Amino acid sequence: MSDEVHKTAINIICLFLSLIILGFATQASGQDNHLSVQQRLYDPSKPTYSSTKHLPIQLIDSLEYYQDMRHRKVSLKAATNIRPVGFFRTEKRSGRWWLINPYGHQHLSIGVNSVRIASKKAILEGLKDGPVRPLQQPVNSDTTWENSISKLWELAGFNSFGPWSELSRLSPLIAANRDYHYTINLNLLGGYLKSTDDREAYLPVFDPDFSLYAQNYMHSFSARAHDPALLGYFTDNEIPFWRVNLDDYLAIEDKNNTNYQAALTWLSEHALDRNNLGTSDYSQFRLHLLRKYLKIVTTAIKQVDSNHMILGPRLYGAEINDEEFLRTLGSYIDILSINFYHKLRPEKQQMHHWEQWSGKPFLISEFNIKATDSHKANHSGSGWLVDTQTDRGHFYQHFTLALLESRNCIGFHWYRYQDVSGQKGANKGLVNEKFEPYEKLLENMSIINRQVYFLVDYFDNQPGS
């Protein structure tokens, strides 16, 4: 990246964020409170979107009697002192789930994924180096990227760096601000799948080599076991558990394959005839596989690091509405993580079920929306499409207000920091390829992020809450 691009990006970001502080960004316009959206459709031959829908949305200026608190320092609720244990944990207090940070304060995780300028491959290698280390390169124009992130996070109200972020460069920033934290995606089953030549239709969780792989890989993170800034570990990303089919395991041609043998053993233990299986049998085998997976990955993590939370496999499919699946998952994890692109925001009953069934609070580990005014193809990724960056910001308000009202959500992470470039490029970022910020998007994000604890107080004091 050239010095000119760095300087231009920093100037734009500093100018924009200064305008926010001066009050340029006021509350979002409430003249319409509807959003024109298109939903991504999955045509194998050509990425496409639905016809336009005009849907009602909730903005902060529609909250009756609520006063803008962005410039107040902190809510009394967030400042509450609780017994500190030195690492993040969760606790349900007065009917609401919270993160408790290492210093004993109630906390919400407001973050962004893929905060980086390096390649994803380089970042995954760098994760193994340890929790905090200084920049290895001399201070030069390259460090302006870190400075821009510092200003952006402070003034837009973020406090977290999600998976695939460039921690080797961000660690000094995280260490200097005790409100900041980060997460890591271990990608244990995903990494194992890439390391093997097995490309069959099934998930090979019964391979003895998978357990060994998970244990060996986790040992490379031992230096992070005592880092208070680490929120926890995601075990994987979007593993298609909902596609698990017992028939695929029984169809394995190599009869010595441990996954085939595991399926036969399960049938025998349950006295089932492989030629006369019912719907519930397939569901129970899926849960059997899930328990096997969870036992392997949680054991591997806890053998190396018993201090940090297990955030689960970042669900995205039909399993987010499967009661038995979530009950099983909840007995192994600390936080239920969900990548949510299904609707403009989760429904109240759905969020209630996530907590009721899993017994755990939830984290929205991914969400975003794209806009046509970015002049990108927007063929990459799931989700929705709107016209402008202001529309993206209004979506952010609509989505996050529902989460804050739910009492079961301990955070939300936007995907991602920078737009996806190339032929299939997509407007997913806070900044474009030249590191120029999307001002209207960020204005609306700051309206929520800078007063999340006041909003929690507002919702918790509503009649019937």
Element (H, E) at 218: helix 208-219
Indicate the class that CATH gives domain 3-460: alpha beta
For residues 365 and 379, what is the distance between their CA atoms, to the nearest angstrom?
A: 21
Structure tokens at 79: 């400042």
Return the number of other C-beta atoms located less than 10 Å from residue 8's C-beta. 14
CB-based contacts of 352: which residues, under 8 Å, 6+ apart? 406, 408
Contact of 170 with 112, CB cutoff 8 Å? no
List phi, psi (to 5°) of 335.
Answer: -140, 140
Name residue 408's beta-bridge partners. Answer: none
The model's pLDDT over 67-89, given as tens digits with 9 standing for 90+, comes to: 988 877 665 556 677 889 999 99
DSSP string over 372-429: GGG-----SSSSEEESSHHHHHHHHHHHHHHHHHHSSEEEEEES-SB-B-STT-B--S
Structure tokens at 271: 């006295």
416 upstream amide cis, omega within 30 of 0:
yes
**For position 42, what pLDDT does the model report?**
78
List phi, psi (to 5°) of 215.
Answer: -65, -45
The model's pLDDT over 252-306, given as tens digits with 9 standing for 90+, comes to: 999 999 999 999 999 999 999 999 999 999 999 999 999 999 999 999 999 999 9
Of 441, 370, 395, which Cα lies nearest the Cα of 57? 395
Of 12, 420, 1, 368, which Cα lies nearest the Cα of 169? 1
Q: Is the dihedral of CA 428, 430, 436, 438 positive or negative?
A: positive
Contact of 412 with 403, CB cutoff 8 Å? yes
Q: What percent of the chain has pLDDT over 90?
A: 78
Complete edge-to-edge strand list for the sheet that includes strand 160-161: 309-312, 230-234, 181-185, 160-161, 109-112, 409-414, 362-366, 336-339
CA trace torsion 335, 291, 208, 233 (10° rounding): 0
Structure tokens at 201: 């239709």
Of 56, 50, 103, which Cα lies nearest the Cα of 81? 103
**For position 151, what pLDDT does the model report?**
94
Return the number of other C-beta atoms located less than 10 Å from residue 343's C-beta. 12
Amino acid identity for residue 74 in this structure: V
**For position 43, what pLDDT does the model report?**
73
Residues of the chain with pLDDT under 50: 1, 4-5, 8, 11, 15, 19, 21-31, 129-143
For residues 307 and 224, what is the distance between their CA atoms, to the nearest angstrom?
A: 10
> Which residue reads 């297990």 in tokens?
310
* 3-state DSSP of 279-334: HHHHHHHHHHHHHHHHHHHHHHHHHHCCCCEEEECCECCHHHHCHHHHHHHHCCCC
Domain ranges of the chain: 3-460
For residues 246 and 279, what is the distance between their CA atoms, to the nearest angstrom?
A: 11
The model's pLDDT over 16-47, given as tens digits with 9 standing for 90+, comes to: 555 454 444 444 333 469 999 999 987 766 77
Q: Which residues of 92-105 are buried (b: 16+ CB within 10 A; e: fewer)?
A: eeeebbbbbbbeeb
For residues 465 and 459, what is the distance between their CA atoms, to the nearest angstrom?
A: 7
Of 266, 317, 315, 258, which Cα lies nearest the Cα of 288? 266
For residues 344 and 225, what is the distance between their CA atoms, to the nearest angstrom?
A: 37
CB-based contacts of 216: which residues, under 8 Å, 6+ apart? none
Helix axes 439-449, 452-460, angle to 10 degrees: 50
